[in-house]
Amino acid sequence: MGRVAYVNGRFVAQRDAQVSIEDRGYQFADAVYEVWSLFGGKLADSEGHFARLERSLGEIAIPMPMSRRALILVLKEAVRRNRVREGLVYLQVSRGVAPRDHPFPKTPVPPAVVITVSAVDRAASEARAAKGVGVVTTPETRWGRCDIKTVGLLPNVLAKQKAREAGAVEAWFVDELGFVTEGGSSNAWIVDRDGRLRTRDTNANILRGVTRRTLMEVIATEGLEVDERPFTPADAHAAREAFITGAGTLVLPVVSVDGKPVGEGKPGPLATKLRRLYIEQAKATAI
Ligand code: PLP
């Protein structure tokens, strides 16, 4: 008998099981999961795993997809249908399916639920335990690789949701030294009080924005310079102008940071000009 998966309210043959490509787990890692060990077909440590599931969901504001009682029934039914006595139960709950946009869906969607069950060979795991295993060490980089354009975007999702709730469009991440790194889906720039263009250097833990790179060429062609020196939110408040860059936003003037105006609180002349020049350059070189 083949394995059976539970997907959004239905038990289906696992080889045919599918989730939408717009599932936010797939698009943003906007999801949590739990794993229970099965002994004699029963969920081990169940209280601890349910408590952690509820906590993880709560921390990222995903509602429990159903009551704990109902979920236990579904998990047990999944175990029963798979006829597994010794094994593992995997549960994933994502924020649901919605058109791709970092913040939470404006119209709430039901969380998406996937459950799979797999068998464990207890004799083999006991044999391994009797021998013991080796480990290796690795630098703690979870998640220090913002230079990779990964779909592991949950921190960006939460930051951009915070921005939306504050009536803003983007969130700027600030590092432990108080400097702006980049936006949730864009690079961050200011024209400082002395008129210098500034954006974070790419030795920092940021995404190497393609729009950022091209804009630098445009800026050089204009005979201007970019100072890749970190700036703080206070520098942004004192700046003449600010803007963000990205394939989605192009060059987008920023008029306030944390509710406080930047410059005159309206799109600055340099940001506006750079937007125009970037679009011209992008159109001229598009293939
Ligand atoms: N930084 C982050 C975190 C992004 O997600 C993006 C784009 O989505 C950018 C910067 C801007 O990169 P690009 O100009 O290549 O679109």
Backbone angles phi, psi at 36, to 5 degrees: -110, 145
Nearest CA, atom 10, ligand 1: 186
Question: What pLDDT, on the 0 to 100 scale, is given for residue 33?
Answer: 98
Give, for all 287 residues of the chain, the pLDDT tens digit.
Answer: 699 999 999 999 999 999 999 999 999 999 999 999 999 999 999 999 999 999 999 999 999 999 999 999 999 999 999 999 999 999 999 999 999 999 999 999 999 999 999 999 999 999 999 999 999 999 998 999 999 999 999 999 999 999 999 999 999 999 999 999 999 999 999 999 999 999 999 999 999 999 999 999 999 999 999 999 999 999 999 999 999 999 999 999 999 999 999 999 999 999 999 999 999 999 999 99
Looking at residue 79, its pLDDT comes to: 98
CA distances from 12 to 6, 15, 18, 89, 189 (A): 6, 8, 9, 16, 50
Q: Quick check: CB of 249 below 6 Å from ligand 1? A: no
CB distance 170 to ligand 1 below 6 Å:
no
Residue 94 CB less than 6 A away from ligand 1: no
- Rounded to a whole number of angstroms, the CA Rg of the chain reads 24
Nearest protein Cα to ligand 1, atom 1: 186
Q: Cα(242) to centroid of ligand 1, in Å?
A: 16
Residue nearest (by alpha carbon) to ligand 1 atom 8: 185
Q: Burial, 199: exposed, middle or buried (Cβ in 10 Å; 0-12, 13-18, 19+)?
A: buried
Straight-line distance from the first to the last Cα atom of the chain, in angstroms, rounded to the nearest whole number: 52
- Euclidean distance between CA atoms 180 and 199, whole angstroms: 9
In this structure, how many other beta carbons lie within 10 angstroms of the beta carbon of residue 284? 7
| From 42, 106, 149, 260, active-site residue | 149
**209 CA to centre of ligand 1 in angstroms:** 5
Beta bridge pairs of residue 189 = 199, 243
Query: What does the pLDDT read at residue 124?
Result: 97
Phi, psi of 132, rounded to the nearest 5 degrees: 80, 165
d(CA 132, CA 109): 46
Residues whose CB falls within 8 Å of the CB of residue 96, separated by 6 or more in sequence, listed in order: 23, 24, 105, 109, 110, 111, 112
* Cα 8 to ligand 1 centroid, rounded to whole Å: 32
pTM: 0.93
Q: What is the pLDDT of residue 54?
A: 98
Residue nearest to atom 2 of ligand 1 (CA): 185
245 lines ligand 1 (CB under 6 A): yes
Determine the Cα–Cα distance for residues 97 and 20; give it in Å rounded to an integer: 7
Ligand 1 neighbourhood includes 212 CB (under 6 angstroms): yes
Residue 135 CA to ligand 1 centre (angstroms):
36
The best mutation among 100, 151, 186, 200 to test binding of ligand 1, ranked by most ligand atoms within 8 Å of the C-beta, falls on 186
Q: Check if 149 is active-site.
A: yes
To 10 degrees, what angle do helices 68-82 and 46-59 make? 120
Domains in the chain (CATH in brackets) are 4-120 (3.30.470.10), 125-285 (3.20.10.10)
